[in-house]
Amino acid sequence: MNNRKSISPPGIRISSKWNRIYIFKSTIEALGRPHYVQFLIDPTKHHLAIMGSKKKERDSFPVPPQLFNNAYSEFKMGSKLLTQQIYEMAGWELGCVYRVSGTYHPHLAAVVFELREAERIS
C-alpha cells in the first residue's frame, strides 16, 4: 500500500533531555508505510530528511508494525549522537523539546525537515 495522503502533516519531535526522536505516524504514512527508515542530514542547509525502505539498509531503523493500530501514534527512537548532532547543527537550546513539520518530496522519496523552522514546545 502506498498511501501518501495523510490528514496530518508529516512531523517529528526531538528531545535532547531524553536523546529521542519521535516520528509522527503521518511522516511514515507520507513515505508509503515503509518497514524501515533512514535519517539523512544536510548540515549546509540545516535539513534533516527521513527516507523509507521496505528492507533493512545500513543505519536504518525498523518501523514498529503496531504503529498503525492507533488513531494517533508516533514511534520513538533513541540516539544520543544523532540528537546532539541535530541540536548543534540547528543551534537549538539543550534541554528543550522541538517540533518540526516536514514536506514529502517525491523526487527524493523522502520527507524533508527544515530545522531552522522548528517550533520550541518546552
Boundaries of domain holding 99: 11-120
- 83 falls within a domain: yes
1 within a domain of the structure (yes/no):
no
Would 3 be classed as within a structural domain?
Answer: no
Is residue 6 a part of any domain in this protein? no
The domain tally of the chain equals 1
Please write the tens of the pLDDT for every residue from 60-103.
999 998 888 877 688 899 999 999 999 999 999 999 999 999 99
Residue 7, pLDDT score: 66
SS (H, E, C) the chain: CCCCCCCCCCEEEEECCCCEEEEEHHHHHHCCCCCEEEEEEECCCCEEEEEEECCCCCCCEECCHHHHHCCCCEEEEECHHHHHHHHHHHCCCCCCEEEEEEEEECCCCEEEEEHHHCEECC
Higher-pLDDT residue of 45 and 8 is: 45
- How many residues does the structure list for the chain? 122
69 is a domain residue: yes
In a domain, 23, yes or no: yes
Q: Model's pTM, two decimal places?
A: 0.89
Residue 5 belongs to some domain of the structure: no
